[in-house]
Amino acid sequence: MHSETVTVAGTATETFDASWLDVGQGHRLYYEQAGATNATAALLLHGGPGSGSSPRQRIFLDSAPLRIVQFDQRGCGRSEPLGETAHNHADALIGDIERLRVHLGIDRWLVFGGSWGAALALAYAARHRDHVSGLILRGVFLTGKADLDWFFHGVSALAPEVHARFMAQVPRRWRRSVVTWLDRCFAGADSEQGRHLSAHWQAYETALGGMHPQAGANPPGIVSATPGLRAKYRIQAHYLARKCFLGEAAVLNAAANSSGIPVAIIHGTHDLVCRPQNAWRVHRTCTGSRLAWAAQAGHDPYHPASLHLLRGATRCFATHGDFSAWPDGNN
């Protein structure tokens, strides 16, 4: 296991360290550190699965002095090899998080995760509780069959046009097994098909994640689907076809095992990607957690209501070491 340092330009929350960490099995992870070097450490887990980290995401945590750590999960973003699904599963990612913590010399950290990142944060906390000082969970994804059925089928009740456009790309005989079909398509060698599906999948997610899904524009052409976008959805299909190697019961068990850790949960009241009941179930399962609803917000974490609550939770934790004064105060 070794790291390789790179030079990066400053950002809104200035980056002071960027490297690659070799985690074995042919994978090398890109990570960055930003903010205050001597402050409380905070790990920012990206969603997807398959998305990636970006400096913009630091806005969730930059309302208080923190040492913010980000990394691109296996096969994602700037990690190498891009789009690789071999040796890429939830247990491997949990191990990677722990390797990164040890590599950076961090004893305990606040762990933030949105969507898939929220499920991964819970799974990590359940496995390495002694190294987690708190959790901030946004737009919770439970990874199970109910979530997948909602995203690929049930949501049509609220966004029929958007759903119909996406389903038009799926052969009729595969429409009840969409994730299996997507996984097979992205695992195949037809790069043109992968680019085409990536463009339509991105359009589908973007429309559902916004405020008014029925007002979404027509999906982009395949020219807009870059190799990076195809890699993102290859990873996502690989995970979703296997319930993210976790499943709903495992995520809720992880939430139960996280009882007693300071936990803040933020969820949009109009989230069509990850249903609000997910947040409620985690809150009811995780004793002592605090839940705040982002009024009128969908799955987009940059919606003003979501961002307000996220930044307030960060400030509260930095001040008190827990979320006891949140959301009623310090936000």
63 phi/psi in degrees, rounded to 5: -85, 0
Q: Looking at the structure, do residues 136 and 193 belong to the same domain, yes or no?
A: no
Least confident span in 34-43, 145-154, 207-216, 241-250: 207-216
Domain limit, last residue, from 244, 265, 299? 244
Determine if residue 105 is left, alpha or beta; phi over 0 gives left, psi from -120 to 50 gives alpha, anything else beta: left
Specify the pLDDT at position 8.
Answer: 35
Cα-Cα-Cα-Cα dihedral of 280, 281, 287, 291, to 10°? -20
Specify the pLDDT at position 14.
Answer: 87
pLDDT at 138 over 80: yes
| Residue at 328 is within a domain | no
Q: Looking at the structure, do residues 21 and 156 belong to the same domain, yes or no?
A: no
Are 134 and 113 within 8 A, CB to CB? no
| Residue at 329 is within a domain | no
Structure tokens at 55: 């400096």
Are 41 and 106 within 8 A, CB to CB? yes
299 is catalytic: yes
Distance CA 191, CA 171 (A): 18
Distance of CA 33 to the CA centre of its chain: 18
Specify the pLDDT at position 191.
Answer: 84
324 is catalytic: no
Domain limits for position 153: 145-244
pLDDT at 216 over 70: no
DSSP one-letter code for 105: T
Q: Looking at the structure, do residues 180 and 226 belong to the same domain, yes or no?
A: yes
59-117 pLDDT, tens digit each: 999 889 999 999 999 999 999 999 999 999 999 999 999 999 999 999 999 999 999 99
| Residue at 331 is within a domain | no
Specify the pLDDT at position 3.
Answer: 43
| Residue at 297 is within a domain | yes
| Residue at 264 is within a domain | yes
| Residue at 330 is within a domain | no
Least confident span in 62-76, 217-231, 236-250: 217-231
Mean pLDDT value of segment 147-174: 96
DSSP one-letter code for 80: B
The confidence band for 214, taking pLDDT boundaries of 50, 70 and 90, is low
Selected residue with higher pLDDT from 191 and 59: 59
Catalytic residue among 27, 299, 303, 308: 299
Q: Looking at the structure, do residues 199 and 124 belong to the same domain, yes or no?
A: no
Least confident span in 53-67, 71-85, 208-222, 317-331: 208-222
Return the CATH number at 272: 3.40.50.1820
Distance CA 311, CA 294 (A): 12
pLDDT at 57 over 80: yes
Half-sphere exposure of 5 (CA within 13 A, CB side): 6
115 is catalytic: yes
Catalytic residue among 115, 258, 289, 306: 115
Q: Looking at the structure, do residues 11 and 101 belong to the same domain, yes or no?
A: yes
Residues contacting residue 306 through CB under 8 Å, at least 6 positions apart: 138, 139, 266, 268, 294, 297, 300
Specify the pLDDT at position 10.
Answer: 35
Q: Looking at the structure, do residues 152 and 44 belong to the same domain, yes or no?
A: no
DSSP 204-264: HHHHHHSS-GGGPPPPPPGGG--HHHHHHHHHHHHHHTTGGGT-HHHHHHHHHHTTTS-EE
Specify the pLDDT at position 13.
Answer: 74
Q: Looking at the structure, do residues 114 and 251 belong to the same domain, yes or no?
A: yes
The confidence band for 330, taking pLDDT boundaries of 50, 70 and 90, is very low
Distance CA 192, CA 194 (A): 5
| Residue at 254 is within a domain | yes
pLDDT at 265 over 60: yes
Domain limit, last residue, from 177, 211, 244? 244
Catalytic residue among 27, 271, 300, 303: 271
DSSP one-letter code for 46: -
Specify the pLDDT at position 278.
Answer: 98
Domain limit, last residue, from 215, 244, 273? 244
Q: Looking at the structure, do residues 173 and 236 belong to the same domain, yes or no?
A: yes
Specify the pLDDT at position 297.
Answer: 96
Specify the pLDDT at position 226.
Answer: 86
Tell me if residue 145 falls in helix, strand or coil.
helix
Mean pLDDT value of segment 296-311: 96
Q: Looking at the structure, do residues 135 and 269 belong to the same domain, yes or no?
A: yes
Q: Looking at the structure, do residues 59 and 38 belong to the same domain, yes or no?
A: yes
Q: Considering its fold, how many domains does the chain have in total? A: 2
Specify the pLDDT at position 136.
Answer: 98
Distance CA 51, CA 176 (A): 25
Specify the pLDDT at position 221.
Answer: 42
Q: Looking at the structure, do residues 238 and 251 belong to the same domain, yes or no?
A: no
Q: Looking at the structure, do residues 220 and 298 belong to the same domain, yes or no?
A: no
The confidence band for 227, taking pLDDT boundaries of 50, 70 and 90, is confident
| Residue at 325 is within a domain | no
pLDDT at 219 over 80: no
Mean pLDDT value of segment 192-215: 84
